[in-house]
Copies of this chain bind each other. A is one copy, B any other.
């Protein structure tokens, strides 16, 4: 029973890798499911079996790209004290988006469009970011630098505070220098808050 399921997952991965390559080259409207199936030497029906529509395929490409990107930023990789660590991780995440804008404009434009619809990939991105902040804040509390309480959904609030430097909508067309300054200033603001118990 296990062999066919692994086969299906492999096919799904093959489709995603090829679709992402086409997307990077031509944009999402630059290829059809038939083109994609031709490239993979399979029938369009087989592609549709794995992705019911092009929107579902686009969502899956975004999700794959985002998960890879955030996977590279494990909060515990930075050896700095918590406040610095938080500033570094946010900055690196923003820079990864900015690099995408330069190097994969088609992919990033699709991220922007998808992030405005309420889609699984967008919700997953939010969750990954919130987990990243959760780890950073927990580290700050356990090392005695952050004095905020860990049981409030503070990680979600911190993620919201960084929306204007981490959300694709704000990054596209933004001035890079201004974004970098804003990123540093927001990290200072958030670090100041986390080092003072929140008033009830």
- Which residues of A come within 8 Å of B, CB atoms? 83, 116, 118, 148, 152-154, 156-158, 160-161, 163-165, 167, 169-170, 173, 182, 185-186, 188-193, 195-199
Contact = CB atoms under 8 A, between A and B. Distances in A.
Contact of A196 (B152, B156, B186, B192): B192
B116 A185 contact: no
B199 A153 contact: no
Given A163-B170, A164-B163, A169-B116, A157 B189 contact: yes
A153 B182 CA distance: 10
A195 B195 CA distance: 11
A188 B199 contact: yes
Most buried by B among A116, A158, A185, A192: A192
Contacts of A191: 199
B193 A198 contact: no
Top 8 nearest A-B pairs by Cβ distance? A163-B164, A193-B193, A192-B193, A157-B185, A196-B196, A161-B161, A160-B164, A189-B193
A192 B148 CA distance: 10
Given A118-B173, A163-B170, A182 B198 contact: no
Contacts of A157: 182, 185-186, 188-189
Nearest to A164: B163
Contact of A188 (B169, B185, B192, B198): B198
A185 B130 CA distance: 15
B118 A189 contact: no
